Structure 1
């Protein structure tokens, strides 16, 4: 992305412990380089811990506590995957409501790997063409999505990708 392409846009990155490190750090780097302001929003207070493929990894500061985050303060939402992170977020009512507000207002949302689990909980998967980590295929189909095996899919403001290797797409 060109520098300042996204200048003035505020992007929420909704995570809790166990997000896949590269699924947050690489998109965040690209967004920041394009001029966006990114904020980590989390039900965890102060810090969140990354998972790096097979083990715990870095900790990152939480910029906005989920219970104080307002979707109207953001222009877009990023949902990194990792197995632990979205599995925890999807049973957190405030996280689901926060994500749902982006869909309800037509704001762009990106979900990587297992991130679509949170999309399922919002009800926004129905009628959308989506991709994900292969193990979510049945979950997405059961939620009414048209699952496809592609690097990245854009449908009605939702961008989904399969895994960390697809992030450049």
Structure 2
């Protein structure tokens, strides 16, 4: 995969590790994922497991980093969308930031939910039956969403709160 906003991967990853969780990088294919700092290539990160090799039951929750290219490509991968849908339908904690909300839209997971995202996705959220609000973080049951990298402190705190309820 390519196009993950690096700080939206590394910020939550560090917050999870600091809280005693063991994050796992899951992607459609083996190898590495390419992160970006906005439009510039940044670091590469090794994939721990593929979507085909995991199940919802393997994890306490799911964190979806943003970046424009990554969620836009990922939402065309039926297995990845099914995995996200499984987390949401099972009531597992799901935290998504920025453009990662596209995965929730594709998984039909925003209907009758309140969430936030990068502002350009608000029409997508509304068209999918959700309520979009402009706040740094929104928690709706086990779903945590944020708008952008500047929201990471609030996003990480809310993500850890929701995970703590199951952990």
Check whether TM > 0.5: yes
Structure 1 residue 124 and structure 2 residue 109: aligned? Answer: yes
Q: Distance in 2 between matches of 1:122 and 1:63?
A: 23
Per-residue deviation, 1:156: 1.9
Q: Which residue of 1 is the match for residue 129 of structure 2?
A: 144
Per-residue deviation, 1:113: 0.3
Matched position secondary structure for 1:136:
helix
Per-residue deviation, 1:45: 1.2
Higher helix share: 2
Per-residue deviation, 1:65: 1.2
Segments of 4+ in structure 1 off by > 4 A? none
Matched position secondary structure for 1:159:
strand
Matched position secondary structure for 1:37:
coil
Unpaired stretches in structure 1, ≥5 consecutive residues: 1-15
Structure 1 residue 38 and structure 2 residue 30: aligned? Answer: no
Q: Distance in 2 between matches of 1:94 and 1:28?
A: 23
Unpaired stretches in structure 2, ≥5 consecutive residues: 155-167
* Alignment TM-score, normalising by the size of structure 1: 0.89
Q: Which residue of 2 is the match for residue 6 of structure 1?
A: none
Q: Distance in 2 between matches of 1:44 and 1:84?
A: 16
